Amino acid sequence: MHRLFVAIRPPADIRAGLIALMNGINGARWQDDDQLHITLRFIGEVDRHQANDVADALANIRFSPFRTALSGVGCFDRKGHVNALWAGMEPRAPLARLHRKVDRACIAAGLPPDDRSYLPHITLARFGRTAGPMDAFIALHAGLASAPFTVDEFALYESHLSQNGSTYHLIERYRADRNDPE
């Protein structure tokens, strides 16, 4: 089985700026440089045949290059427990459009639609039950912003889970098409 996701890899200077922020919260499992990405669609476990179908369907996506930038920080919680800290992205609209195209391609490859609300972000840290307070971190970095950067490709990745966290392996890159019909 293959555990897949589709994502955008931010440029090195954006990643370096995020790495520089990563401290000050007890119990945080900070992401490594190799783990920093903007998820377009988490696919999950699929067999080799379906992984190939997904890769082929993604190759049919047409999109024009667009610009986005870091914008603020926030957190996700599940059942009242914070489980992730993230950096937001603005503008959201071009990322949401590409997310919808990726979702349609995954549906064409036989996967169910992604029924979760899409919020473009880069995960900075994950938390277990013993995470320290993060209000000070969020207040300090609420105004996080970066220079805009160009998104001209996305990629299909395979995720391997271990006791030391996830490692990601690039499967295929998909370049922007300046003749996008939208």
* Class for the domain spanning 2-175: alpha beta
Task: Check residue 163 and give its pLDDT.
Answer: 76
Helix, strand, coil share (%) of the chain residues, nearest 5: 25, 40, 35
Whether residue 121 lies in the annotated active site: yes
Considering 2, 37, 99, 141, which one is annotated as catalytic? 37
Mean pLDDT score of the chain: 93
pLDDT tens for residues 31-86?
Answer: 999 999 999 999 999 999 999 999 999 999 999 999 999 999 999 987 777 889 99
Domain boundaries of the chain, sorted by first residue: 2-175
In eight-state DSSP terms, residue 145 is: B
Confidence category of residue 180, pLDDT binned at 50, 70, 90: low
Residue whose C-alpha is closest to residue 93's, from 111, 114, 71: 71
Provide CB contacts within 8 A for 30, sequence distance 6+.
Answer: 22, 23, 124, 125
**Active site annotation includes 160:** no
Catalytic residue, candidates 2, 99, 121, 141: 121
Distance CA 82, CA 79 (A): 8
Q: How much is the pLDDT for 77?
A: 83
